Structure formats: C-alpha cells, structure tokens
C-alpha cells in the first residue's frame, strides 16, 4: 500500500534507511556481528574469480559490488550484462563462482546464464529480493535483500539493498580469509542509514534542483570517476526511464575522448565528487564542460566540497558512498518526471520484471 504517498517510487525511496537497518539486523548473529551462511563464505573463499551477472539497475549494483569484493576480500571480479554474457562467454577461470543479482529473481536474461553455468557444473549464488523466485530456486545459494516488495518500475530501495548485502558478503569473506582490509561494517552501515534519513528530508532541495536543471532540457549527463562513475550510470538510468530525458553517464576521463562534443550552452551536467583520490580530477572535468557552456550541478561529500557545489552529502565510509550519493539522484529523477507529468510508477514501454530474453 502506498498510504499517503502520491507514488510508490517516493515511498520506496523513503524506505531506504529502514531497509538498511533491517538488513543489518537480518545478517547479525547473537553477538551482533554480521555473518553470512558458511557454505556461501566457503564458496567465496574457494573461488579464484567471481563473475557477477545482472541487468539494468542490478548490473549497476554489480559494478559497485565488484569494488567491495576486490577491495575488501581481494578476489578478482568480472561484472557482465546477462544478455551479452549468454552468447559471448569470456574464457572462465579454473574455479569460478557466479553471483546473480536480481531484485525480482525472474529476469529471463539472467536466468539463461544461470541455466548455462549450472550445466557447466559451476556454483551459483543469487542475491534477490524475492524468496522462492526462479533465480533463487535454481541457484545453489541465496542471499535475500529484505527490502520488502518493490512496486514502482524504477528500482530504488532494491539497489541500495543490493549494495548493502554485497558489502556484507565482501566484508565477511575478508574476515574469514583473515585479511586486514575489513571495516567495522555494522557501524558504518548505521552511519549510512542515518545519513540517508537526512537526504530524504532534503526533498525540497532535490525538487529545486530538478526544476533548475531539468525542467526544459532535452538531455542531461552524469559524470564521475571510480565509484561515482557507476552511481552516475544508475542516476542516468533512473532519469531516462521515468522522465524520458535523454541521459547518459560517463567516466570523467572519457569526456575529452568524444562525449564533450555533445556539450552545448546550458547542458545540465550532474557531477559526483565523493572519492578523495579523484576529487581534483573530476573537478577538472567540470571545468572542461563549464568552459563549453554546461550548467554544472556538483554533488560532493562533506570534506571534499568547494564553494561551487550545489549539494553536499554527509560523510560516510568512502567505499559506501554509493549508498548515499544515489539518493539525491533518485529524488532528482522523481521530481523531474513529476514536473513533466510523466507516469512515475509505470513509465511507458517498461515492465517491472522482464521475463523474456
Ligand atoms: C531499472 C530497473 C531495471 C531492472 C532490470 C533487472 O530501474 O528496474 O533496469 O533493474 O530489469 O531486474 P532484476 O533486478 O529484477 O533482475
């Protein structure tokens, strides 16, 4: 039920802090430590390479998940779009583990890959919001998102839930491998949830940004480097699917290799700056586009901000920044769609779960 909310999407955006807290609870043991089923952790530890397979928003979560797993658990990860992987499999490693990320657990493109890798005799883990879904039943292991039903076609709380569960998987694996690259994740996810509360309270500001940058534009670009690039891809998907504004996400460093030709007077550029190591370089990219007339909206993280920034996010652990930086992008897309009288919850041409290949 959407209760007093005008749209499921807005309700689901608002639910995100509660979902993060629920996930922490669901994965905690009696002594308060985050844990994962030992069979899954053994499979992670035995893998010489992990292949993440997904589509759409879940693919974008996989791109961030790769960074969690590689940085914390030190296992190499490849992330693949399911519909491409199925007919063009890369050469696989000796001991691969497959991770399927799917909110619905019913995506046919992902299922086609699962059927194939099971035939080859490999182990598979499904990360899904729907217990008993096809991808959950057909995989060896399942991790649940605990996000509650997601009704709006545009995925919001499932994405942040996917990131939270992937971070727990990566951190618990790292602990089991005795690595020093673990973080106090229960504590850090608590900070994330509190920060999300603040962002959700900043709706008026997000509506103002949508009005200022997106009310009449025909296109918009998202730029970022490192984790911010992946969040930009998700932000651009949200914007295009519900507002029908042509939106694209780009790696900051790729701009000069072609994309910059698209910048015109007033073109909105939403730039994310949450990662210290690339803060200066992404700001350099903003200067490049401003020099060509772009209208920049910089969203940075506290501690990295400058005077020109339009919105400053509260500080969270740098690796977990995508869980908070995506929220303004979800809200900006929501308001942009609303201002254009679009059907926010049921955008044209789209279905909630895509059960055809
Ligand atoms: C975007 C969106 C889609 C899905 C994609 C995969 O907002 O909802 O891109 O993410 O169709 O769906 P699942 O995660 O159910 O496999």
Question: Is 352 tagged catalytic?
Answer: yes
Helix (H) and strand (E) counts for the chain? 13, 10
Q: What would you measure as the largest C-alpha separation in the chain, in angstroms? A: 58
What is the sign of the dihedral through the CA atoms of 103, 107, 113 and 116? positive
Confirm or reject: Cβ of 56 under 6 Å from ligand 1.
yes
Quick one: tokens of 44? 């992670």
- Please report the pLDDT score of residue 1 as a whole number: 77
CA 5, CA 27: separation in Å to the nearest integer?
Answer: 29
Q: To the nearest 5 percent, what fractions of the chain are helix, strand and coil? A: 50, 15, 35
Tokens of 353: 């779960």
| Ligand 1: centre distance to CA 54 (Å) | 8
Distance 277 CA to ligand 1 centre (A): 31
12 and 155 Cβ atoms separated by less than 8 Å: no
The side-by-side arrangement of strands in the sheet containing 246-251 is 246-251, 219-224, 268-273, 295-301, 311-313
> Which three-class secondary structure state does DSSP give residue 96?
strand
Q: Which two tokens stand for residue 76?
A: 């190499």
Q: What is the ipTM of this complex?
A: 0.99
Distance (Å) from CA 71 to ligand 1 centroid = 26
Q: To 10 degrees, what angle do helices 321-339 and 157-176 make?
A: 170
Protein residue with least CA distance to atom 16, ligand 1: 102
Check pocket membership of 345 for ligand 1, CB cut-off 6 A: no
Atom of ligand 1 nearest to the CA of 155: 7
Query: Does the beta carbon of 353 lie inside 6 Å of ligand 1?
Result: yes
Backbone phi and psi for residue 183, each to the nearest 5 degrees, phi listed first = -125, 165
State the distance from the centre of ligand 1 to the C-alpha of 149, rounded, in angstroms: 14
Per-residue pLDDT of the chain (357 residues; tens, 9 = 90+): 789 999 999 999 999 999 999 999 999 999 999 999 999 999 999 999 999 999 999 999 999 999 999 999 999 999 999 999 999 999 999 999 999 999 999 999 999 999 999 999 999 999 999 999 999 999 999 999 999 999 999 999 999 999 999 999 999 999 999 999 999 999 999 999 999 999 999 999 999 999 999 999 999 999 999 999 999 999 999 999 999 999 999 999 999 999 899 999 999 999 999 999 999 999 999 999 999 999 999 999 999 999 999 999 999 999 999 999 999 999 999 999 999 999 999 888 888 888 888
Whether ligand 1 lies within 6 angstroms of the CB of 57 is answered as: yes
Q: Is 133 in the pocket of ligand 1 (CB under 6 A)?
A: no
């Amino acid at each position: 039920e959407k209760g007093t909310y005008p749209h499921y999407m807005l309700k689901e955006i608002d639910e995100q802090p509660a979902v993060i807290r629920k996930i922490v609870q669901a994965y905690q043991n009696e002594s308060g430590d985050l844990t994962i089923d030992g069979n899954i952790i053994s499979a992670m530890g035995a893998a010489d390479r992990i292949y993440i397979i997904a589509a759409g928003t879940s693919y974008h979560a996989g791109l961030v998940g790769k960074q969690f797993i590689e940085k914390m658990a030190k296992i190499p990860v490849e992330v693949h779009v399911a519909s491409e992987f199925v007919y063009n499999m890369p050469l696989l490693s000796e001991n691969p583990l497959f991770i399927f990320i799917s909110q619905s657990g019913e995506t046919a493109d992902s299922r086609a890959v699962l059927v194939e890798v099971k035939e080859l005799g490999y182990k598979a883990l499904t990360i899904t919001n729907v217990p008993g879904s096809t991808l959950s039943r057909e995989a060896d292991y399942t991790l649940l998102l605990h996000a509650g039903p997601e009704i709006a076609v545009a995925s919001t709380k499932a994405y942040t839930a996917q990131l939270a569960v992937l971070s727990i998987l990566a951190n618990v694996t790292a602990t089991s491998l005795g690595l020093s690259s673990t973080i106090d994740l229960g504590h850090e996810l608590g900070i994330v949830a509190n920060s999300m509360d603040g962002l959700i309270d900043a709706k008026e500001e997000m509506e103002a940004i949508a009005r200022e940058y997106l009310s009449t534009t025909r296109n918009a670009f998202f730029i970022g480097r490192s984790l911010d690039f992946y969040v930009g891809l998700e932000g651009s998907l949200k914007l295009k699917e519900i507002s029908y504004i042509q939106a694209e996400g780009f790696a900051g460093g790729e701009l000069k290799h072609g994309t910059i030709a698209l910048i015109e007077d007033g073109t909105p550029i939403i730039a994310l700056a949450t990662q210290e190591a690339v803060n200066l370089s992404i700001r350099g990219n903003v200067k490049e586009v401003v020099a060509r007339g772009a209208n920049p909206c910089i969203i940075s993280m506290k501690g990295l901000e400058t005077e020109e920034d339009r919105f400053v996010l509260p500080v969270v652990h740098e690796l977990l920044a995508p869980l908070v930086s995506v929220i303004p992008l979800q809200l900006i897309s929501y308001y942009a769609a609303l201002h254009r009288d679009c059907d926010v919850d049921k955008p044209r041409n789209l279905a909630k779960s895509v059960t055809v290949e």
